[in-house]
Amino acid sequence: MTTHSFTQAVPVLTYQRIVEQVETAILSGEIPVGSQLSSERDLMVQFGVSRPTVREALRVLQSMGLIEPKPGTRGGPVVLAPSSETLGRSFRAMIGTASLGLAELVQFRIVLDGSASELAAVLHDDAQLAAMRSAVTRMREAAEGDASDFADADLAFHETVWEASGNQVLRLSGQAVAGALRELVRRDLERGAAGNAVKLDSARIDSGLFEAIERRDSAAAGRIARGAIADRFSSMLTERERLALAAITGA
């Protein structure tokens, strides 16, 4: 018996082949951004398939953020400039569908925020520094006032830190995980008296983080950012989970 390695004989879906052809053509630059493909009716003769099949392929490409429909004469799908939107959606989908424990999200957030703060300390510019300063000020002002104002300022501060890190991936994944966490702890923040103390604490810590970034102290910025999140959520974790956190907070 000759052992010959055969290749899989799975049927290749026709709409998928259209997606692949167009996708590689776009990613390789063969089809430049801003140009437009033939209309659905033209594509259906070019590929030799029916219109619904062409449309399914175009929908997939559209959901990948590669094209956008454009009606009218001289219309046709236009090739889009790549956007970070789909990447963020992928993160959200992954976090949303993965049945995640709070500890995993907290760990991930610590990792992201810590690194982003380290990078921001080295790479920030004046405008970003000003934005951070204003956000910290707003946090302090809102610490005893409306919870949503405070949350907005808090979010704006971290948003700027992510931006100052100069890394889109950090920013997008940070947004995704922060959003998921916010959902989980909403009740925790709103329950009465303890709220103000927590907010004052957060304001003080973020203030310290800001100063570390301002003096470009990368190590301190990372340490503060990591510790802040660990403290913020430690009361909601088990002993074992707190122990694991120690490994990445560097404390």
Partner DNA sequence: CCCCACAAGTGGCCTTACCATGTATCCTAG
Partner DNA sequence: CTAGGATACATGGTAAGGCCACTTGTGGGG
The site for a copy of itself (CB under 8 A) is made up of: 15, 23, 26-29, 33, 52, 55-56, 59-60, 62-66, 80-84, 86-87, 89-100, 104-105, 107-108, 111-112, 115, 118-119, 121-123, 166-170, 172-173, 177, 218-219, 243-244, 246-248, 250
Query: Residue 100 and residue 71: Cα distance in Å, rounded?
Result: 42
Cβ closest to DNA, residue 58 vs residue 225:
58
Query: Residue 29 and residue 43: Cα distance in Å, rounded?
Result: 19
Query: Residue 37 and residue 44: Cα distance in Å, rounded?
Result: 12
Number of residues that bind DNA (CB under 7 A): 26
In the complex, least distance from residue 8 CB atom to DNA, rounded to whole angstroms? 12
Determine the interface stretch with DNA among 55-63, 85-93, 118-126, 214-222 (rule: CB under 7 A): 55-63
Q: Can you tell me which of 29, 32, 34, 48 binds DNA, judged by CB under 7 A?
A: 48
DSSP alpha helix (H) spans, the chain:
14-27, 40-46, 51-63, 85-97, 102-123, 126-142, 147-164, 168-190, 194-214, 218-234, 239-249
Q: 168: which 2 tokens? A: 């889109």
If binding is defined by CB under 7 A, does position 227 make contact with DNA? no
State the angle between helix axes of 194-214 and 147-164 in degrees (0 to 180), rounded to the nearest 10: 20
Cβ closest to DNA, residue 22 vs residue 105:
22
If binding is defined by CB under 7 A, does position 222 make contact with DNA? no
In the complex, least distance from residue 35 CB atom to DNA, rounded to whole angstroms? 13
Residues 63-82 that bind DNA (CB under 7 A): 69-77
Listed in sequence order, the residues at least 6 apart from 137 whose beta carbon sits closer than 8 Å to its beta carbon are: none
Query: Residue 171 and residue 112: Cα distance in Å, rounded?
Result: 9
Residues that bind DNA (CB under 7 A): 11, 13-15, 39-42, 48-53, 55-56, 58, 69-77
